[in-house]
């Protein structure tokens, strides 16, 4: 029988912080406005068809534009891109007309979503499905474009801090 005693979310966060994850910036563009969010929940899902997924918090600035656009991109960050990861993770960053202003990037050739220059790899997606995930939406995407970037060490997240 499973104990149904409520567990502490802070304790849960501490436990799962022991699992190292890669760091990405997920991006989309809607009406000419470029939106981005640092994501460490990105993962490959299927080879047939090519699918990947990530979880987007309901109150993240990216959430509504992402669902509206139906297309998005992922920049896989290298160890030297910690400033970009910190910026796109900050809730207090300006939500002006362009969240990528000042960050070297280019539009993805398939989706037009911003791809951060200097990343280890880039992928572009069409939303395949979305699922309720508590306070997050689980977004599954079909790969519609991909490219390798520079060789380098990945940016990781472990024990609530960035690592190389």
Over residues 103-162, the pLDDT tens digits come to: 999 999 999 999 999 999 999 999 999 999 999 999 999 999 999 998 999 999 999 999
pLDDT value at position 92? 75
pLDDT digits (tens, 9 = 90+) for 80-104: 999 999 999 998 776 666 899 999 9
Look up the domain containing 141 and give its range.
21-163
Terminal alpha carbon distance of the chain: 41
Cβ atoms of 141 and 127 within 8 Å: the answer is yes
- Assess if residue 1 is contained within a domain: no
Q: pTM of the prediction?
A: 0.93
- Assess if residue 65 is contained within a domain: yes
* Rounded Cα gap, residues 86 and 37, in angstroms: 10
pLDDT value at position 95? 61
- Assess if residue 10 is contained within a domain: no
> Using alpha carbons only, how large is the chain's radius of gyration in Å?
16
The CATH number covering residue 104 comes to 2.30.110.10
Going by pLDDT thresholds of 50, 70 and 90, the confidence category of residue 5 is: confident
Phi-psi region of 50 (alpha: psi -120 to 50; beta: other; left: phi over 0): beta
DSSP string, 105-130: EEE-TTT--EEETT-SEEEEEEEEEE
Give the count of beta carbons closer than 10 Å to the beta carbon of residue 10.
8
CB burial of 53-75 (b: ≥16 within 10 Å; e: otherwise) equals: bbbbbeebbbbebbbebebbbbb
**Number of structural domains, the chain?**
1
- Assess if residue 109 is contained within a domain: yes
- Assess if residue 52 is contained within a domain: yes
């Amino acid at each position: 029988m499973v104990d149904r005693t409520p567990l502490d979310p802070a304790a849960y966060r501490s436990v799962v912080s022991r699992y190292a994850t890669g760091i990405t910036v997920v991006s989309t563009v809607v009406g000419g406005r470029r939106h981005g969010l640092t994501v460490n929940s990105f993962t490959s899902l299927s080879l047939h068809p090519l699918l990947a997924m990530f979880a987007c918090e309901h109150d993240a600035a990216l959430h509504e534009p992402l669902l509206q656009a139906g297309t998005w991109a992922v920049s896989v960050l290298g160890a030297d891109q910690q400033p970009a990861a910190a910026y796109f993770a900050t809730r207090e960053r300006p939500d002006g007309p362009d969240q990528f202003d000042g960050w070297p990037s280019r539009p993805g050739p398939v989706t037009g979503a911003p791809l951060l220059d200097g990343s280890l790899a880039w992928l572009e997606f069409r939303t395949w499905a979305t699922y309720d995930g508590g306070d997050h939406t689980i977004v599954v995407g079909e790969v519609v474009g991909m490219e390798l970037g520079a060789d380098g060490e990945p940016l990781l997240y472990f024990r609530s801090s960035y690592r190389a």
